[in-house]
């Protein structure tokens, strides 16, 4: 299957490392013009260097800030026209660890929702008018196995926000479908993709690592490219009659 994106305008959030960087590189290597967004400016600079300056542009952006999202998308579309593909990858646990429910503050809860759920909504809201006008669009949300089951770290807000993102995917698929806009979701399993997941892996210890691997059908961890490959499929013409779906990319459970 030869998947190409020549001439397509792509926005990838959370692109400073991990999944987002792999996804941005995958699109750039297939001819797309990729706008990479993150709060981590240094990481974005590295991503642009890997993608190639001719193929990618960096935007420092907090996706939980609706006004900033609207301004950034307006800037992108003024320069390049309507967005063809949006990948809502920004997310994570914002440095939090699992704690009992009674210890969770309002800000602890809200900050995780801001980036994992509100950010996906705000970004899609911003690109939707342009996608409707051109009668074409692909939105791919990156959730987590935590959104389908439980969080390995025990972080209540993370599991809840990712489950909410899956619900948002299904709802928006029906709302935006009449304009030939598909909305799908990739739910990654545990992948060593950034400093947070590397710390989680180390904290498991040898016994915990073995238990995790024993519960994976393929008996190994995945790579960021495994997630990027699923995103490419959802964004491709081969997936033009697929919408509202959630695919687990987790080595088999």
Helix and strand element counts for the chain (H, E): 8, 7
For CA atoms 170, 176, 180, 181, the dihedral sign is negative
Tokens representing residue 86 in the block: 């949006």
Catalytic residue among 122, 136, 158, 234: 158
**Are 224 and 231 a contacting pair, CB within 8 Å?**
no
229 is catalytic: no
Backbone angles phi, psi at 197, to 5 degrees: -70, -30
Question: Which of 224, 239, 251, 180 lies closest to 1, judged by CA?
Answer: 239
Distance of CA 103 to the CA centre of its chain: 28
Residues acting as catalytic residues: 158
């Amino acid at each position: 299957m030869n998947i190409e994106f020549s001439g397509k305008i792509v926005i990838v959030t959370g692109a400073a490392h991990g999944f987002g960087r792999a996804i941005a590189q995958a699109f750039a290597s297939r001819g797309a013009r990729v706008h990479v967004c993150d709060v981590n400016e240094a990481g974005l600079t590295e991503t642009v260097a890997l993608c190639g300056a001719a193929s990618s542009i960096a935007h420092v952006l907090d996706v939980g800030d609706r006004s900033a999202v609207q301004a950034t998308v307006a800037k992108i579309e003024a320069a390049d026209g309507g967005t063809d593909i949006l990948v809502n990858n920004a997310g994570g646990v914002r440095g939090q660890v699992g704690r009992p429910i009674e210890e969770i503050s309002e800000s602890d809860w809200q900050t995780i929702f801001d980036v994992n759920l509100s950010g996906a909504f705000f970004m899609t809201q911003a690109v939707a008018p342009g996608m409707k006008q051109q009668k074409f669009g692909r939105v791919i949300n990156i959730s987590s196995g935590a959104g389908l089951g439980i969080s390995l770290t025990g972080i209540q807000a993370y599991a809840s926000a990712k489950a909410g993102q899956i619900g948002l995917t299904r709802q928006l698929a029906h709302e935006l479908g009449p304009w030939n806009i598909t909305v799908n979701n990739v739910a990654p399993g545990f992948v060593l993709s950034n400093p947070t997941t590397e710390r989680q892996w180390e904290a498991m210890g040898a016994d915990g690592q073995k238990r995790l691997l024993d519960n994976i059908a393929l008996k190994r961890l995945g790579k960021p490219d495994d997630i990027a490959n699923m995103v490419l499929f959802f964004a491709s013409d081969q997936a033009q009659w697929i919408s509202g779906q959630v695919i687990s990319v987790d080595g088999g459970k």
